[in-house]
Amino acid sequence: MLLLERIRPIALLLARIGIGAIFLVHGWQKFTTMGIAGTTGFFQQLGIPLPGVAAPVVAVVEVVGGIALILGAALPIAGVLLILDMLGAIVFLHSANGFAVEKGGYEFALSLIAGLLAVAFSGGGLLALDGIWQRRQAETVAA
């Protein structure tokens, strides 16, 4: 049990960084590689409602949410927003293709949702700003 207690915070840190980096890069691509206009056009082709609003919102959620995950800040809020983002990707893009990712299915988006659930409601592990803030609040109350 002692080994598990030592590994858990490091595992959560690595999960936060990995998942956060995925979202940060995907969101950044919506601003740079595709551009918001290209992302809007893609969203329009998918039938996403209000694509001109949805494209920049999704890009911002992915960039800011990815950074928040990496830093371990506002994890429940960032996690829920990114889960909603992935549910949208499943509904509008991947579900028609089945499960398998090699056929464009929802396997990868579903794995991100599972990882987000674990990280968002775990306290974030080692060096998470949420955990640091909570410890400072507890010390203030105790003093």
Structure tokens at 112: 């991100």
With 0-12 / 13-18 / 19 or more C-beta atoms within 10 angstroms meaning exposed / middle / buried, residue 32 is: exposed
89 Cβ partners below 8 Å, 6+ apart?
106, 109
Q: How confident is the model at residue 137, as a pLDDT?
A: 87
Which pTM value belongs to this model?
A: 0.94
For residues 38 and 109, give the distance between their C-alpha atoms in angstroms, rounded to a whole number: 21
21: tokens are 């980096």
How would you write the pLDDT of the chain (143 residues) with one tens digit per residue? 788 889 999 999 999 999 999 999 999 999 999 999 999 999 999 999 999 999 999 999 999 999 999 999 999 999 999 999 999 999 999 999 999 999 999 999 999 999 999 999 998 998 999 999 988 888 888 87
Q: In the prediction, which pLDDT does 85 show?
A: 98
Determine the length of the chain: 143
